[in-house]
């Protein structure tokens, strides 16, 4: 089971890092929605950093949770139109 957790933690960390690279703020810069997008993006980045910290300290359970939460911030933002994201592939649940 430990190997499964290790692999999943690494996979989710990579998924979040890749999703952050692909997501761009959709609303105009001078709007409240752009501010909301920036906050969501910052939360996702923070969870990526937290997850990496947990991973480096041999805490894969909290690392996996952090990576998952971070991706949820991005994915939810993409679904409500805060981010332009790829509609094909495995990174986001938008069509």
Top CATH class, 2-84? mainly alpha
Domain ranges of the chain: 2-84
Write down the pLDDT at residue 59: 97
Query: Quick check: helix, strand or coil at residue 25?
Result: strand
Per-residue confidence at 88, pLDDT binned at 50, 70, 90?
A: confident
Query: Quick check: helix, strand or coil at residue 84?
Result: strand
Per-residue confidence at 94, pLDDT binned at 50, 70, 90?
A: confident
Query: Which sign, positive or negative, has the C-alpha torsion 81, 41, 9, 12?
Result: positive
Length of the chain counted residue by residue: 95
pTM (two decimals): 0.91
pLDDT in tens, 2-59: 669 999 999 999 999 999 999 999 999 999 999 999 999 999 999 999 999 999 999 9
Closest to 92 measured CA to CA, from 27, 15, 34: 15
Kind and range of the H or E element at 48? helix 32-56
Residue 20 · residue 45 · CB < 8 Å: yes
Write down the pLDDT at residue 93: 86
């Amino acid at each position: 089971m430990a190997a499964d957790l290790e692999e999943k933690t690494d996979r989710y960390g990579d998924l979040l890092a890749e999703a952050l690279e692909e997501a761009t703020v959709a609303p105009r810069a001078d709007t409240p929605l752009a501010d909301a997008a920036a906050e969501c993006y910052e939360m996702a980045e923070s969870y990526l950093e937290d997850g990496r910290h947990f991973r480096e300290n041999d805490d894969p359970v909290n690392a996996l949770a952090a990576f998952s939460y971070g991706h949820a911030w991005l994915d939810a933002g993409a679904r409500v139109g805060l981010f332009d994201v790829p509609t094909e592939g495995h990174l986001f649940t938008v069509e």
